[in-house]
């Protein structure tokens, strides 16, 4: 992708120098002189054909190359061989923090972001809140308070606790924690949002994608060096690149690339407790 950036940059530089240079030369050559009259000319078909076809070919090549980069980033989970085991991470954006969730040994996420409505017979987690089994049983002046409490305090991720896929998920302490990924393994980052549109961005890896409420996006990248090998500052920045509210500028996170063994021990062994 960096090669593509370089190509676009240098093509743009060359075109800019040619066009601006031509303007300066023509301005000087045809500056005002007393007694000189303007001459009218018709277009030159051959020159016009050339300056249409050349940019068209350049744009065609750039489009084709961009499409390949885009496919590698966005469709890797479907296109790679089955045998390749990626590391999956679910990121839920919310004002103004990133929630980082690992799928556990089964490699699959449970369901999240399920929240109560005032008309619901039962609370989504099957427990009692506000002393009743469902928001429908609450008086009108209390229901908003209880639902807000559920969303912000009781079950902020809206986790569905009885989803079998989610039983082994590593989700506790998800909010604003450091995201850890294994080196030399494709990392699939699944992205969604609890409230507004954010944009999950890893500037060092040239990948970013909006997190949209109600939608699940995914992109893939492969780190090639651990933070231990790189030295200070010992982490990569996670940024939000969508103006998402007053605290947008505080919505930073950290990502650390660790060894494959360390990652497997921490996030892919049963109970997640193999590491001391």
Binding pattern for the stretch 62-101 against Cu ion, x by CB under 5 A and - elsewhere: ----------------------------------------
Show Cβ contacts of residue 152 under 8 Å, excluding neighbours closer than 6 positions. Answer: none
* Residue of 174, 181, 251, 264 that binds Cu ion (CB under 5 A): 251
Cα torsion 177, 179, 180, 182 to 10°: value is 170
Minimum separation from the CB atom of position 70 to Cu ion (A): 23
Beta-sheet strand order (sheet of 87-94): 97-101, 87-94, 187-193, 217-221
- 3-state secondary structure at position 188: strand
Distances in Å between the alpha carbon of 225 and those of 10, 69, 200, 233? 29, 21, 21, 14
Q: Report how many residues bind Cu ion under the rule CB under 5 A.
A: 4
Sole window of 23-31, 47-55, 61-69, 246-254 interacting with Cu ion (rule: CB under 5 A): 246-254
Burial of 257 (0-12, 13-18, 19+ CB in 10 A): buried
* Residue of 240, 255, 257, 264 that binds Cu ion (CB under 5 A): 240
Minimum separation from the CB atom of position 127 to Cu ion (A): 31
* Residue of 100, 189, 244, 258 that binds Cu ion (CB under 5 A): 244
Which residues within the stretch 192-211 sit at the binding site for Cu ion (CB under 5 A)? Answer: 198
Binding pattern for the stretch 146-185 against Cu ion, x by CB under 5 A and - elsewhere: ----------------------------------------
Longest dimension (CA), the chain: 97
| 238 touches Cu ion (CB under 5 A) | no
Burial of 187 (0-12, 13-18, 19+ CB in 10 A): buried
Minimum separation from the CB atom of position 89 to Cu ion (A): 17
Minimum separation from the CB atom of position 175 to Cu ion (A): 14
Dihedral over Cα of 263, 269, 273, 276: its sign: negative
Identity of the residue, 210 or 262, whose beta carbon is nearer to Cu ion in the bound complex: 210
Where does this chain bind Cu ion (CB under 5 A)? 198, 240, 244, 251
């Amino acid at each position: 992708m960096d090669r593509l950036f370089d190509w676009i940059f240098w093509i743009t530089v060359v075109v800019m120098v040619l066009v601006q240079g031509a303007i300066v030369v023509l301005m000087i050559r045809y500056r005002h002189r007393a007694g000189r009259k303007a001459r009218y000319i018709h277009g030159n078909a051959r020159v016009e054909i050339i300056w249409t076809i050349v940019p068209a070919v350049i744009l065609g090549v750039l489009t084709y190359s961009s499409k390949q980069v885009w496919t590698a980033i966005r469709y890797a989970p479907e296109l790679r061989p089955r045998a390749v085991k990626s590391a999956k991470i679910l990121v839920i954006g919310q004002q103004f923090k990133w929630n980082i969730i690992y799928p556990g040994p089964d490699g699959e996420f449970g369901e999240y972001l399920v929240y109560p409505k005032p008309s619901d017979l039962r609370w989504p987690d099957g427990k009692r809140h506000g002393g009743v089994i469902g928001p429908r049983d609450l008086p009108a002046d209390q229901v908003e308070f209880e639902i807000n409490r559920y969303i912000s305090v009781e079950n902020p991720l809206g986790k569905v606790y009885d989803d079998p896929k989610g039983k082994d998920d590593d989700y506790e302490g998800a909010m604003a924690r450091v995201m850890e990924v294994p080196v030399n393994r494709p990392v699939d980052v699944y992205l969604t949002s609890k409230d507004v549109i954010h944009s999950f961005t890893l500037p060092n890896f040239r990948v970013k994608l909006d997190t949209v409420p109600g939608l699940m996006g995914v992109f893939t990248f492969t780190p090639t060096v651990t933070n231990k090998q790189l030295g200070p500052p010992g982490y990569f920045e996670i940024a939000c690149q969508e103006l998402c509210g007053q605290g947008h500028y505080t919505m930073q996170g950290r990502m650390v690339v660790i060894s494959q063994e360390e990652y497997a021990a921490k996030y892919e062994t049963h109970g997640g407790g193999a590491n001391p």
